[in-house]
């Protein structure tokens, strides 16, 4: 049945620009591996830019200072710090939304189902940290122990997407839940161990901002502009408090309501009441003003029938994955190798600690703690998931990029040479972990489904 052209939006139309450019671009953004590809390209551009003959322009550009004064508020940050403290707060806000969704209605909703990936994530944090300290436990180098604890969701899920049906759904969900639990652990590590020069008055003001948002939610305040304004002020208070500003993003995400303001029954009632004001084919010509008024009413009802969490996650996900995170990588992944021995950089204790922590620490820690959880009866493997899948997923969890780079900057703020060595370890370790995980999962034979032994005729009869 042909679609009525009058009901087709411009994006979905068969015109040249939507068909040739817009629709393929949208299809790309919905591919699971897409965000990982864009992130990798950004990192490659950063490395190439930093090592060009005029590579000094890389640091010069990202080191540009921005000075903003608004009444008593004064903000002076370099462009890189603005991205790391500001843009990444939006990234962590989306992470907070994802965590809230999983806690309310996802894989982490059932404590028993959440136990296995949570325990596995704990192993994937403790063992890499211990391996790092085995290589770099002296002096300021020891501050980098949190770097190999992080898992990059975009890259790891992207690699799994390349494997298609070779990886069972249960193993994919296990990796996703593990990565989210890993994010929670990384957030706690940042808040607890990478916070300096704590300002109690600013911290109290930031907590007060969160309390205002919580109270407004409970009171039924619906104006998004109100929440955005309070969120920006809260972010500034956290920035000035010494507690990293991105934690404000996580807290705001967790405070976002996961239930719609209008229930399904009320939505049906309100929507029908608005639509029924326009009888079908009665020949009445309605004024533009009336149509606009009723359309806005219907749009408002439809909007409030979707939870704020779902609306914000959908509207910010693409911006976070395809703009904020790649820009962060572009600003932080550049390492200038001029005058530096590649062999010396790779064999530096920090680089070795990070790389071995990501490759072996994640694999051993996640696999071992998963085995212990299953053995003790605390959790059970997902459907059709073999131990080979667990090992492969554990290896993919060693792809630590975005959050690992972020922690590297926090760990060595006064030692850029240490941060560069950590980045080398992140690149090498993530690459090796990704390739090893891909090869292991590619070799695993699919589990036999219970339905495989049922004759085809019986299956057809069931249908």
Question: Tens digit of pLDDT for each residue in 173-206?
Answer: 888 888 888 888 888 888 888 876 778 898 899 9
Task: Encode burial over 253-289: b for 16+ CB neighbours within 10 A, e otherwise.
Answer: bbbbeeebbbeeeebeebbeebeeeeeeeeeeeeeee
Fold of 33-195+244-259+307-446: Na+/H+ antiporter like fold (1.20.1530)
Q: What is the pLDDT of residue 181?
A: 84
Nearest to 151 by CA among 169, 119, 131, 177: 177
Determine the Cα–Cα distance for residues 159 and 436; give it in Å rounded to an integer. Answer: 11
Nearest to 331 by CA among 116, 84, 1, 144: 84
Within 8 A by CB and 6+ apart from 111, the residues are none
Check whether 84 has a pLDDT greater than 60: yes
Rg for the chain (alpha carbons), in Å? Answer: 25
Cβ atoms of 45 and 330 closer than 8 Å: yes
Cβ atoms of 453 and 379 closer than 8 Å: no
Q: What is the pLDDT of residue 286?
A: 62
The 10 Å Cβ neighbour count of residue 29 is: 14
Check whether 43 has a pLDDT greater than 60: yes
Calculate the CA dihedral of residues 82, 87, 88, 89 and round it to 10 degrees. 100
> Any bridge partners for residue 68, and if so which?
75
Q: What is the pLDDT of residue 158?
A: 79
Check whether 223 has a pLDDT greater than 80: yes
Within 8 A by CB and 6+ apart from 438, the residues are 159, 162, 163, 392, 396
Task: Give the residue with greater pLDDT, 256 vs 95.
Answer: 256
**Residue 31 C-beta-side C-alpha neighbours within 13 Å:** 18
- Say if pTM beats, i.e. exceeds, 0.85: no
Any idea which of 23-32, 191-200, 353-362, 397-406 has the lowest mean pLDDT? 23-32
**Residue 231 C-beta-side C-alpha neighbours within 13 Å:** 21
Q: Share the mean pLDDT of the chain.
A: 82
Q: What is the pLDDT of residue 450?
A: 46
Paired tokens of 254 = 């967790």
Q: What is the pLDDT of residue 463?
A: 34
The residues of the chain that CATH labels 1.20.1530.10 are 33-195+244-259+307-446
Give the ranges where 194-307 is alpha helix by DSSP (H): 200-219, 224-241, 246-255, 264-275, 288-304
Which range in 10-24, 168-182, 397-411 is most confidently predicted, on average pLDDT?
Answer: 397-411
Angle formed by the axes of helices 246-255 and 224-241, to 10°?
140
């Amino acid at each position: 049945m042909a679609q009525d052209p009058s009901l087709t939006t411009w994006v979905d139309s068969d015109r040249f620009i939507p068909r040739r450019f817009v629709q393929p671009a949208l299809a790309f953004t919905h591919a699971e591996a897409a965000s990982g590809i864009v992130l990798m390209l950004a990192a490659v551009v950063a490395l190439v830019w930093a090592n060009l003959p005029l590579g000094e322009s890389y640091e010069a550009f990202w080191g540009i200072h921005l000075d903003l004064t608004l009444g008593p508020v004064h903000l002076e940050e370099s462009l890189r710090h603005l991205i790391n403290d500001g843009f990444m707060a939006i990234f962590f806000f989306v992470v907070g939304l994802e965590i809230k969704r999983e806690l309310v209605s996802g894989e982490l909703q059932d404590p028993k189902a959440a136990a296995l990936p949570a325990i596995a994530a704990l192993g994937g944090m403790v063992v890499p940290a211990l391996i790092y300290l085995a290589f770099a436990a002296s002096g300021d180098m020891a501050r980098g122990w949190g770097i190999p604890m992080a898992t990059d969701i975009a890259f790891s899920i992207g690699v799994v997407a390349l494997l298609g049906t070779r990886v069972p759904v249960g193993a994919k969900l296990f990796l996703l839940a593990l990565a989210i639990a890993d994010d929670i652990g990384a957030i706690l590590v940042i808040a607890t161990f990478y916070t300096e020069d704590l300002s109690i008055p600013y911290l109290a003001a930031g907590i007060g901002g969160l309390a205002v948002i919580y109270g407004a939610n409970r009171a039924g305040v619906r104006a998004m502009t109100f929440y955005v304004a309070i969120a920006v002020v809260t972010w500034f208070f956290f920035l000035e408090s010494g507690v990293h500003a991105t934690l404000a993003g996580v807290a705001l995400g967790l405070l976002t309501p996961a239930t719609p303001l209008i229930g399904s029954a009320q939505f049906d009632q309100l929507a029908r009441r608005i639509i029924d004001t326009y009888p079908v084919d009665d020949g009445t010509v309605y004024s533009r003003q009336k149509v606009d008024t009723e359309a806005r009413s219907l749009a408002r009802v439809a909007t409030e029938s979707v939870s704020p969490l779902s609306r914000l996650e959908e509207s910010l996900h693409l911006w976070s994955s395809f703009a904020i995170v790649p820009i962060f990588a572009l600003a932080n992944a550049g390492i200038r190798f001029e005058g530096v021995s590649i062999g010396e950089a790779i064999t530096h204790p920090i680089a070795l600690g990070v790389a071995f922590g990501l490759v072996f620490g994640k694999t051993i820690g996640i696999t071992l703690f998963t085995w212990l959880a299953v053995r003790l009866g605390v959790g059970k493997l997902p459907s059709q998931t073999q131990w080979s899948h667990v090992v492969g997923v554990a290896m993919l969890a060693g792809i630590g990029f975005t959050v690992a780079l972020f922690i590297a900057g926090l760990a060595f703020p006064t030692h850029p040479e240490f941060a560069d060595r950590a980045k080398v370890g992140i690149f090498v370790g993530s690459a090796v972990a990704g390739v090893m995980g891909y090869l292991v999962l590619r070799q695993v034979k699919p589990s036999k489904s219970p339905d495989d032994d049922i004759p085809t005729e019986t299956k057809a009869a069931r249908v």
